[in-house]
Amino acid sequence: MSRPKYVASCSGGKDSVATLLLAAQHNEPLDEAVFSEVMFDETTSGEVPEHRDFIYDRLKPFCEKELGIKFTILRADKTYDDVFHHIITRGPNEGKKRGFVWPGMCAVNRDCKVPPIRKYNAALSPDTVSYVGIASDEQKRLARLDGIHKVSLLGKYGVTEAEARTLCEESGLLSPIYTHCRRNGCWFCPNASDAELRHMITHHPEMFDRLIEWEHEENVFHRRLTRKETPSEIKARLMSKPQPGLSSNQNQG
Ligand code: SF4
């Protein structure tokens, strides 16, 4: 009888990368790693550029050449551009562009992130085993796994979130995203922290300014990027404050 297929969901974050490393260390079966990439528009990734480069230039080759497994990148038909420019068809705002997504009910997750994963999973055999990157100190999330088709190797080998990070660092496989923030998400995420937003404004201003261009388009229903502020308000606020960790001379630029 052939064994089931083993697939690891991989965001490129420390817990999912540590899962790949643990599988190799402990000779756990693993056939494929799967990454779902949200796109900002047809050509621009929704991943923070440094993280996107880490996935394509470091993690994918590592999986293919060193682990000898397939690295699959999934994308939805829809991009954030489509989500933002969707025309509302009902209610008092009918005819307007939807605008930025709402924190807490992210239409990017619903329309861009999840659909290709659903489609991919639907094509898998029912006995497939999926590894998920949930650390041993995330007890509530671990308790939701069935342990048969959804398995956490971090849970199985007692690896905490902090230890997962160390494992990635020691293997040279920690995404550069962790130098300025604690999580990886889309660069236009409504839940982004000031550190994440500041990173985009200072390191990738041309990308952040695309959001300001959208904010100023006509007939946009939701112009706030985060719970409280539009992109231009965020930029004005963060640029008026000294950057943490820099001397006053550096901040004066
Ligand atoms: S990272 Fe943010 S914008 Fe991207 S799918 Fe998740 S909640 Fe939505």
Residues near ligand 1 (Cβ within 6 A): 38, 106, 108-109, 113, 185-186, 189, 191
Query: What single-letter amino acid sits at 33?
Result: A
Residue 140 φ then ψ, to 5°: -65, -45
Cα–Cα distance for residue pair 171/37, rounded to 1 Å:
24
Cα(219) to ligand 1 centroid in Å equals 24
pLDDT tens, position by position, 3-14:
899 999 999 999
State the sign of the Cα–Cα–Cα–Cα dihedral 113, 119, 120, 126.
positive
Question: Of all protein residues, whose CA lies closest to atom 7 belonging to ligand 1?
Answer: 106
Query: Which tokens is 247 given?
Result: 């001397």
Counting from 1 in the atom list of ligand 1, the atom nearest the Cα of 112 is: 5
β-partners of residue 51 are none
Angle between helices 205-215 and 231-240 (to 10 degrees): 130
Look at ligand 1, atom 3, and give the residue with the nearest C-alpha.
189
pLDDT at 183: 84
What is the value of pTM for the model shown? 0.92
Q: What average pLDDT score do residues 98-113 get?
A: 93
Q: Find tokens 């660092």 and name the residue.
A: 169
65 phi and psi, to 5 degrees? -90, -40
Mean pLDDT, rounded, of the chain = 94
What number does the ligand 1 atom closest to the CA of 191 have?
2
Cα 155 from Cα 159, distance rounded (Å): 6
* Ligand 1 midpoint to CA 192 (Å): 9
Q: How confident is the model at residue 252 (pLDDT cuts 50, 70, 90)?
A: very low
